[in-house]
Structure 1
Amino acid sequence: MCFEETVKCSLRKSLNIVKMYEWLLDLYVLDFFVDDHWSKLPLSWQEVFQDMNPQSIGALISGKHINHMLPLSFLALIKSVAALSLPRKRQCELESKILNSNDASGLPKLKNLFLKHVKLKKRHEISVMADIVKMTGSEVDCDAVVDFGSGLGHLVRMLAYKHEFHAAGIECQTQLTEEARKLDLELEYTAKKHLDGESVAKLRQPSHFNITLSSINQLDQMPLPETMQHYGLVGLHPCGDLGPLLLKHFVNSKNVKFICVVGCCYMKLTCGSSGYPMSSYVATLDSGLSFVSREIACHAIEVYCERLIKGDYEDLKVHAYRSALERILLANDPKLKHAPVRSIKHTNSLSFKQYCHLATEKLNINLPTAHAWARGEADLEQWRRVVTVYSLRLALAPLVETVILLDRVLYVLEHGLSCTIHPVFDPKISPRNHIIIAKRK
């Protein structure tokens, strides 16, 4: 079976599971008490999970063995998700390929400068991403790259100064672009202290542009310099429809030699048109994904499960606090459904009444009577059930993400271009860790 047919088969099977358990994916945590989510679980699941502690649930979702008799329907679900979901652990084969293709040059004396002003998570992401872009560019003989959503320019700066790409960063916020230019000049000022005049003269300064993208036509009209008539596209966690937009530009423009894109913010996709589905095949299937299912697909499953296993879950009670508050808000005024309350971190010293006052202080509403407080306190006694239902939904999240990402891969394959997908970041540091790499030779 060819790769394209394998992807189609995986998508078809994955969507069958997603549709079968759509009722579980759509149990939004805010509505736990309002809609009585616990009662929506099969009775056999209720019997098992009502007495299971969070540590065991974390171990179960992580794929570890636990000493509990589990319903066959749930075992089948967990095994299916594990079999069909894209692997999330980094692949040694790809890492070796990157190491072999990228030489040890790239201004070693300036290594630390590229990571200055960069937080730990971003350091990890831009270092790995830059190496992959360097490898991919070398494979298709392309030395120019355009980074979309470039922010402060950390990635595009590394691609230009270290990996010697003709590089441009596209950012919609003017302030970020201005800061990026300042950081370029700061790096060059420091570089002059460590490099000879000839090396400084060879430095390739990145370009920065302010563009708000809304259509594929804008990409063909970008004011790129002569050195960038052919280029690669880079998207490190582009939000919502931007990822699909970049893939469409790659497919439609022969000037684009490759693309390296890591998805994010699936809940902001425009479903049914430009964002999802992208492939013709998935469009023929029952492929709809709700906002709630796409939103949970962006959550950090490894870190969450690790916390449960370690017993570090006391602050997860805040989900029960918010769900109990939702019932109070709706009783007060149905128009307050899913009102944007203030985010409050849970502490053991925080009472439910204190939480409600802090969370609703900007809503300018009258809080309830003693009877409502008593009901809220009773709801909080079920906080473990809230955590359990959220955890069961999270177990399905990797499969939803798999559907979205494989749909993008298939879109490229349907246009006769090569495309692969790999887990490249440490999922505990950067949960959205799959990169789609496509090339035009």
Structure 2
Amino acid sequence: MAGSLGWTGPTTAGHSAAGDAWGRGRGQSTARALAFTRTPKFQTPSEFRENPSQSSRLKAPFRKHVRPKKQHEIRRLGELVRKLSDLTGCTQVVDVGSGQGHLSRFMSLGLGLRVKSIEGDQRLVQRAQHLDREVLQALEKEEKRNPQVVQTHSPRSPHHVVQWVDPGTLCEEVLLPLETSPRSEARLLLTGLHACGDLSVALLRHFSSCPEVAALASVGCCYMKLSDPGGYPLSRCVAALPGCELSYRLREGACHALEDYAERLQEAGPGLRTHCYRAALETVIRHVQPQLRRPGVQGIPRAHELKIEEYVQRGLQRVGLDPQLPLSRAALEAQQAQENRVVAFYSLALLLAPLVETLILLDRLLYLQEQGFHSELLPIFSPELSPRNLVLVATKRPLGPAFSVLETEDADAR
């Protein structure tokens, strides 16, 4: 993992101790040496220098309703998919777990690819189709205003399908070609932008098992939702390692933003106390209902501005428990006094996050290579904007030096 965390030493003793362990200990050097590099082959995105909320490399219709993080992701992955499609002669892109269709829309209406968009939530598909119409109308208006601009392709909306993809079985819909193209002639490229948990595994299995699928570009996420067994390990190599198992806590930690958290530590702001609050809430939940593990506590706005008992009450309500349960103020205050130690512990745990993600992604890489496929992991997003920034690219024919082209920025992308 390239780059320095640049520890400067926050104001509190506990936070400073975390910084010492993070910034000067041997653990940081070891973690950095063993993890895949997360540094892309481009400078931290110049596309937001003029306006931090609008990518200068993406046309206005594709920025509407899209946050800067997602703007960066759809542009970078979309451009990689277009290059990979050209290199492998694919006739169609299948975007699995497409959500509101931002990536599919950019690939089809912005880059001229033939795209099938598969999403299991019908509401998201309806929203995607509405946004497609909005972008089409905006592009048509732009063409009328600027008729001298030559279109390199005819705008064609993605084909949306409501379909859940079962990670355990092959999905026929994924493999069906668009329109009337014979299935024997279809060459598919599968992609997924932060495909959650086992959905990334499903993409790997479709690529491995189906002759129609010629290429893969997958960015995983939500490693804690991987099935055990089934989702990890996939490769024979990793499965044979003693102690290769990864706990839920480790897999969940691998989804956190290391670069962003380093900045928060440097600032040593009051928001860091939220970790202590969350730990106190977990203690109360386990005391009241021991069988309730891993409760999905939705974010509590401006939690650090609340008193700890108020935070715990709101948290109890969010997991369906009585917020008026009697709480020991003395116990909560004693836990709050451990705030700096909680931050130090969290910091050290987060230091391992890139290593855990590396092991999960290395397992996927080896799974494909054990079957004779060609695959690499490329850091294509700025990690400051998108912490899960490694894309797994796979082909059934060797690309050789052409793989390096996939990481480059398109000079004419606007």
TM-score, with structure 2 as normaliser: 0.80
Give the alignment of 1:428-439 within 5 angstroms.
428-439=384-395
Residue 311, structure 1, aligned to residue 259, structure 2: no
Inter-partner Cα distance in structure 2 for 1:149 and 1:420: 22
Residue pair 1:235, 1:260 contacting (<8 A) in 2 also: yes
Structure 1 counterpart of 2:169: 216
Identity %: 36
Give the alignment of 1:119-158 within 5 angstroms.
119-158=67-106
- Cα deviation code 1:158-217 (max 9, x no counterpart): 111222211110010111112222222222223222337995993223211111011432
Q: After TM superposition, give the deviation of residue 294 of structure 1 in Å.
A: 0.3
Residue 368, structure 1, aligned to residue 321, structure 2: no
Structure 2 counterpart of 1:80: 30
Inter-partner Cα distance in structure 1 for 2:105 and 2:89: 20
Structure 2 counterpart of 1:113: 61
Q: After TM superposition, give the deviation of residue 380 of structure 1 in Å.
A: 1.1
Q: After TM superposition, give the deviation of residue 140 of structure 1 in Å.
A: 1.3
Q: Could you say if the C-alpha distance between residues 59 and 234 of structure 1 is closer, same or farther in structure 2, counting changes exceeding 3 Å? A: farther
Q: After TM superposition, give the deviation of residue 345 of structure 1 in Å.
A: 4.4
Let me know the Cα RMSD of the aligned residues.
2.9
Of residues 389-398 and 358-367 in structure 1, the stretch that sits farther from structure 2 once superposed is 358-367
Residue pair 1:149, 1:170 contacting (<8 A) in 2 also: yes
Residue pair 2:285, 2:316 contacting (<8 A) in 1 also: no
Inter-partner Cα distance in structure 1 for 2:214 and 2:37: 27
1:177 corresponds to which of 113, 122, 125: 125
Residue type of the alignment partner of 1:245:
A
Query: Structure 2: any 5+ residue segments left out of the alignment?
Result: 1-11, 46-55, 398-414
- Cα deviation code 1:236-256 (max 9, x no counterpart): 100111101111111121211
TM-score, with structure 1 as normaliser: 0.75
Give the alignment of 1:19-418 within 5 angstroms.
52-55=13-16, 57-58=18-19, 61=22, 64-65=23-24, 75=26, 77-92=27-42, 111-195=59-143, 202-214=154-166, 215-219=168-172, 222-225=175-178, 226-227=180-181, 229-273=186-230, 275-286=231-242, 287-312=244-269, 314-332=270-288, 334-335=290-291, 343-345=299-301, 350-361=306-317, 362-364=320-322, 367-368=325-326, 372-418=328-374
Q: Could you say if the C-alpha distance between residues 378 and 90 of structure 1 is closer, same or farther in structure 2, counting changes exceeding 3 Å? A: same
Q: Could you say if the C-alpha distance between residues 301 and 111 of structure 1 is closer, same or farther in structure 2, counting changes exceeding 3 Å? A: same
Structure 1 counterpart of 2:6: none
Inter-partner Cα distance in structure 1 for 2:346 and 2:58: 45
Structure 2 counterpart of 1:34: none
Residue pair 2:39, 2:382 contacting (<8 A) in 1 also: yes
Inter-partner Cα distance in structure 2 for 1:395 and 1:110: 34
Secondary structure of 2:142's aligned partner:
coil
> Which structure has the highest helix share of the two?
1
Inter-partner Cα distance in structure 2 for 1:130 and 1:348: 38
Secondary structure of 2:143's aligned partner:
coil
Q: After TM superposition, give the deviation of residue 285 of structure 1 in Å.
A: 1.6
- Cα deviation code 1:346-393 (max 9, x no counterpart): 556532333333333451265336xx3212212211110011111111
Larger Rg: 1
Structure 2 counterpart of 1:13: none
Inter-partner Cα distance in structure 2 for 1:279 and 1:425: 26
- Cα deviation code 1:63-107 (max 9, x no counterpart): x44xxxx5xxxx2x33221111011111249x9xxxxxxxxxxxx
> How many aligned positions are there?
363
| Structure with the larger RCO, 1 or 2 (CA within 8 Å, 6+ apart) | 1
Residue type of the alignment partner of 1:57:
A
Inter-partner Cα distance in structure 1 for 2:57 and 2:80: 21
Residue type of the alignment partner of 1:181:
Q
Residue pair 2:198, 2:225 contacting (<8 A) in 1 also: yes
- Cα deviation code 1:98-156 (max 9, x no counterpart): xxxxxxxxxx9992212222111110100000110111111112242010111111111
2:375 corresponds to which of 419, 423, 427: 419
Inter-partner Cα distance in structure 2 for 1:342 and 1:332: 19
Residue pair 1:84, 1:399 contacting (<8 A) in 2 also: yes
Residue pair 2:313, 2:323 contacting (<8 A) in 1 also: no
Inter-partner Cα distance in structure 2 for 1:337 and 1:151: 28
Q: Could you say if the C-alpha distance between residues 152 and 367 of structure 1 is closer, same or farther in structure 2, counting changes exceeding 3 Å? A: closer
- Cα deviation code 1:307-334 (max 9, x no counterpart): 101222x122122223234444444554
Of residues 190-199 and 82-91 in structure 1, the stretch that sits farther from structure 2 once superposed is 190-199
Q: Could you say if the C-alpha distance between residues 278 and 193 of structure 1 is closer, same or farther in structure 2, counting changes exceeding 3 Å? A: same
Q: After TM superposition, give the deviation of residue 272 of structure 1 in Å.
A: 2.1
